[in-house]
Structure 1
Amino acid sequence: MPSPISPLNSYIPPTPSSPLSAETFHIAGILTTVFGLAEIPPDASEIVCLWLLHPRQDSQKDMVGLATAIVHDYYDRRKKSSANSKQKGFIAVAFDARNHGTREIDPMANQAWKSGNENHAPDMFSVYFGTAQDTSTLIDFLPAYIFPNSERSISGHFALGVSLGGHATWLCLLHEPRITAGVVVVGAPDFVALMADRARLSKLTSWLQGDAPGSGFLGSKHFPTGLLETVQKKDPAAVLSGQLDASKKIEFIRTGVYAHPADDDEGKAKTQSILDRHLRGKRILCLSGATDKLVPYRLFEPFMSWLKGIVTPAGGNGGDGDIYLEDIVFKNTAHELTEAMMQEVLRFMYDSVLALDRPNGAKVAKI
């Protein structure tokens, strides 16, 4: 059963007309479940693979409903479509995140500060950073297991993550070039802001001590310098903006006021270079709850507003360098995956498959 905090608890997928096939493989020491192999049309030589990354304290077993709904919906839409593009097969893959499910070593490492885990920040970032790395490893080796005779090829990789899996999906989008579309459900693109806010709410000694609240948090035992250095290199908000201004992040959590400085021409060129390197031609859908208290959207709104403000405006002709970005915040929605969110997921997944055949890649959306 999903954990009490699981955002999947609120989503009950419709009962499909037929169950979805599932087959488990042992790949690189990871039990990996592939959904939809039996449903691939006989004439489909190219396959799109969706990587499903689960929430904290859940496991791959909790992703069965999502896999079933998404794969069946894709084929239902294909049947109703008049598109002349070549039929592609569609599969979904799930595996246990590090220290979860069959890979659990220390249950306390999956808890937060309020539950007594003093290492909450390094434990959480290392788990989902490692899970993103595992995704890349499995992308390398999956074809050898599911298509041993090279009878089909995987022509596209997408990722969808919920909560902790959403954090990992952001890392997959940034650091795995083979993943060209991603859905982040109640996930965080700014780890420092998320942890600083939790430190404040948890009334950690490292937050309360110092000249002002929060001034002693970064670099303390709750957020060691070594962790900060890794976050600087990997976290979306730090990587894409080209800097991690720790003092401004802490002030933002303390006061609620934060604004990215305006870039000069040199800064804009640097930013564009970073975006090209990490997100060129990718499609991103972010789904958040306006009343989410566990991963509050307000913490990431400055970063998301900045990012949406520097991507090519809607209708721009960025060609294969376009970034398609949708950022949807649902009213009266907490830390959950709702039916309304799921409808956006299904629409985005199908459109992303079709986008693989478009000569200029994705068109840019600025929401």
Structure 2
Amino acid sequence: MEPTKQTLLVGGLLVDVYSHPTSRPSSTDPIHALFFLHGRFGSAQESYVVNIIKAIFDESYGPGIGWGERGRKILSPLPLNHGSRLVDQKRNLAWSEDPAKNNDQHAVDMYTIQTGTAEDVSFIIDHLPSFLYPSGERTIAEWGICGVSLGGHSTWIALSREPRLTLGIPIIGCPDYTKLISQRARSSGIPFSPPYFPDSFKTYIETHDPAQLPYRAKDTSNPFLGKKVLVLSGKEDKLVPWVASAEFVDGLEVGEGGVKRVVVEEGAGHECTSGMRKEAGLFVRKWLSGAGL
């Protein structure tokens, strides 16, 4: 069955809110809310976005998880400079030998979109309940996040910054921006220096990027401790190669209360495959059921 959708305007930001068609509007049980962030050049209206959201609902809704016990919403806000928020399409482009397709500011543009979108997630967590349940009809008990490609990068950043997110599913995303973008710069013949990489930009990354945080620590200094993380990547991905993420993911510590599951799919490139969609849905299902992941 197709999920139902309503679009809310939260402080000027459009948020598509998807519900399972068998949900009970009159229920007062708490809700689990999952963000879904699409990729660069994507649109919240594209069929692949709806297909992924539908797959997550299909896999996560079944025996053992009554809707009244674990109601859920999937939230799809627009990333910066996409959809109705588009200001300049060229700023979404990468480096290219074709002047018409080249964006010299690719490194800065892509990261600022990622971080801005992650900040939007916190903003929505702050204010969505007031728009979704203005009379306090229901409460949102737990928040999760899932994203593909650019949305996967933002998922890592949001997980590292927003303590209210307890589950994260980065799909073909990377938590180490320096490794990812320096490799892309080398292959494009771009020097890892100003003006392509301003010193102030490098300083920001060295201070705030997930890979620069104490992600290996077993104490509260680690922002990932206690979180449930499913990493989905393609082994043949050339745009976001697994090698850029491997060291971080291998060393990531989530503690006894957390979960880390990693699937690097053989033969998959930069794509969200049917296998990845199924893995994501099953992970969400276990999150909702309260069962061990």
Q: What TM-score, normalized to structure 1? A: 0.73
Aligned match of 2:208: 234
Aligned match of 2:79: 97
Alpha-carbon distance in structure 2 between the residues aligned to 1:196 and 1:288: 19
Aligned match of 1:335: 270
- Aligned to 1:55, the other structure's residue is in SS state coil
Q: CA deviation at 1:151?
A: 0.7
- Aligned to 1:61, the other structure's residue is in SS state coil
Q: CA deviation at 1:120?
A: 0.5
- Aligned to 1:136, the other structure's residue is in SS state helix
For 1:224, which of 198, 212, 221 is the aligned residue? 198
- Aligned to 2:275, the other structure's residue is in SS state helix
Is 2:32–2:142's contact at 8 Å kept on the other side of the alignment? yes
Q: Point out the more displaced range, 32-41 or 99-108.
A: 32-41
Aligned match of 2:32: 48
- Aligned to 1:231, the other structure's residue is in SS state helix
Q: Determine whether 1:32 maps to 2:15.
A: yes
Q: CA deviation at 1:303?
A: 2.2
Deviation by residue 1:262-296 (Cα, 9 ceiling, x = unmatched): xxxxxx8xx3336x541122100000100000000
1:1-367 pair list within 5 angstroms: 18-36=1-19, 39-41=22-24, 42-62=26-46, 63-75=49-61, 77=62, 80-81=63-64, 87-114=69-96, 115-204=101-190, 206=191, 217=192, 219-240=193-214, 271-273=217-219, 276-307=221-252, 312=255, 318=256, 322-355=257-290
Alpha-carbon distance in structure 2 between the residues aligned to 1:40 and 1:22: 12
Deviation by residue 1:190-239 (Cα, 9 ceiling, x = unmatched): 100111111111012x2xxxxxxxxxx2x421111111111122211111
Structure 2 unmatched runs, 5+: none
Deviation by residue 1:113-170 (Cα, 9 ceiling, x = unmatched): 1231000011000001000000110111111111111010000111000000000000
Residue identity matched to 2:3: L
Alpha-carbon distance in structure 1 between the residues aligned to 2:132 and 2:54: 18
Is 1:44–1:88's contact at 8 Å kept on the other side of the alignment? no
Residue identity matched to 1:133: E
Query: With CA pairs under 8 Å and 6+ residues apart, which has the higher RCO, 1 or 2?
Result: 2
Residue identity matched to 1:349: V
Residue identity matched to 1:33: D
Q: CA deviation at 1:21?
A: 1.1
Alpha-carbon distance in structure 2 between the residues aligned to 1:338 and 1:223: 33
1:311–1:22 CA distance, 2 compared to 1 (3 A): closer
Is 2:218–2:225's contact at 8 Å kept on the other side of the alignment? no
Give the number of the structure whose alpha-carbon radius of gyration is greater: 1
1:338–1:38 CA distance, 2 compared to 1 (3 A): closer
Alpha-carbon distance in structure 2 between the residues aligned to 1:25 and 1:311: 34
CA RMSD of aligned residues (A): 2.1
Q: What TM-score, normalized to structure 2? A: 0.91
Q: Point out the more displaced range, 48-57 or 229-238.
A: 229-238
Question: Structure 1 segments of 4 or more deviating over 4 A?
Answer: 83-86
Q: CA deviation at 1:72?
A: 3.9
- Aligned to 2:212, the other structure's residue is in SS state helix
Is 2:3–2:18's contact at 8 Å kept on the other side of the alignment? yes
Alpha-carbon distance in structure 2 between the residues aligned to 1:120 and 1:281: 34
1:84–1:100 CA distance, 2 compared to 1 (3 A): closer
Q: CA deviation at 1:19?
A: 2.4
Structure 1 unmatched runs, 5+: 1-17, 207-216, 242-267, 313-317
Q: CA deviation at 1:84?
A: 8.8
